[in-house]
Amino acid sequence: MGWIITLFILVVGLSIGSFLNVITFRLGKKGGIFWGRSECPHCGHVLKWRDLIPVLSFLTLKGKCRHCRQKISLIYPAVEILTAVAFLAYIYFRNTYALEVLYGLALISGLMVIVFSDLLELIIPDKIVFPLIILAFTFNLSVADISARLITALILSAIFAIMYLGSRGRWLGLGDAKLVFLIGLALGYPLGVLAVLFSVWTAALVGIALVMAGKATLKTALPLGTFLAINSIIFLIFQNELQKVTQTIF
26 binds Zn ion (CB under 5 A): no
Q: How far is CA 8 from CA 3, 55, 84, in A?
A: 8, 16, 10
**Among the listed residues 53, 61, 63, 67, the single contact to Zn ion using CB under 5 A:** 67
- Binder of Zn ion out of 40, 53, 106, 206 (CB under 5 A): 40
Q: Which residues in 206-245 contact Zn ion (CB under 5 A)?
A: none
CB of 40: closest distance to Zn ion in angstroms? 3
Stretch that binds Zn ion, among 35-43, 155-163, 191-199, 210-218 (CB under 5 A): 35-43
Of residues 45 and 94, the one with the C-beta less far from Zn ion: 45
DSSP 82-133: HHHHHHHHHHHHH---HHHHHHHHHHHHHHHHHHHHHHHHS---HHHHHHHH
Least Å from the CB of residue 4 to Zn ion? 37
Q: Chain centroid to CA 138: how far? A: 20
Binding Zn ion by CB under 5 A: which of 65, 180, 191, 230?
Answer: 65
Interface residue with Zn ion, options 1, 5, 68, 141 (CB under 5 A): 68
> Which one of the spans 26-34, 40-48, 115-123, 186-194 is the region binding Zn ion (CB under 5 A)?
40-48
Q: Report in angstroms how near the CB of residue 76 gets to Zn ion at its nearest.
A: 13
Cβ–Cβ < 8 Å for 231, 199: yes
CB 177 within 8 A of CB 157: yes
Query: CA–CA separation, 187 vs 144, rounded Å?
Result: 13
d(Cα 187, Cα 217) in Å, to the nearest integer? 33
What minimum distance in Å lies between the beta carbon of 60 and Zn ion? 15
Region from 63-71, 147-155, 187-195, 229-237 binding Zn ion, contact rule CB under 5 A: 63-71
User: How far is the CA of 33 from the CAs of 22, 37, 128, in angstroms?
Assistant: 8, 11, 11
Classify the phi-psi angles of 44: left when phi > 0, otherwise alpha if psi is within -120 to 50, otherwise beta: left
Whether the CB-CB separation of 76 and 21 falls below 8 Å is answered with yes
Query: Helices 174-187 and 146-166 meet at what angle, rounded to 10?
Result: 160
To Zn ion, the closest distance from the beta carbon of 42 in angstroms equals 4
Among 1, 7, 43, 245, binds Zn ion (CB under 5 A): 43
When the beta carbons of 46 and 205 are compared against Zn ion, the nearer one is 46
**46 counts as binding Zn ion under rule CB under 5 A:** no
Binding site for Zn ion (CB under 5 A): 40, 42-43, 45, 65, 67-68
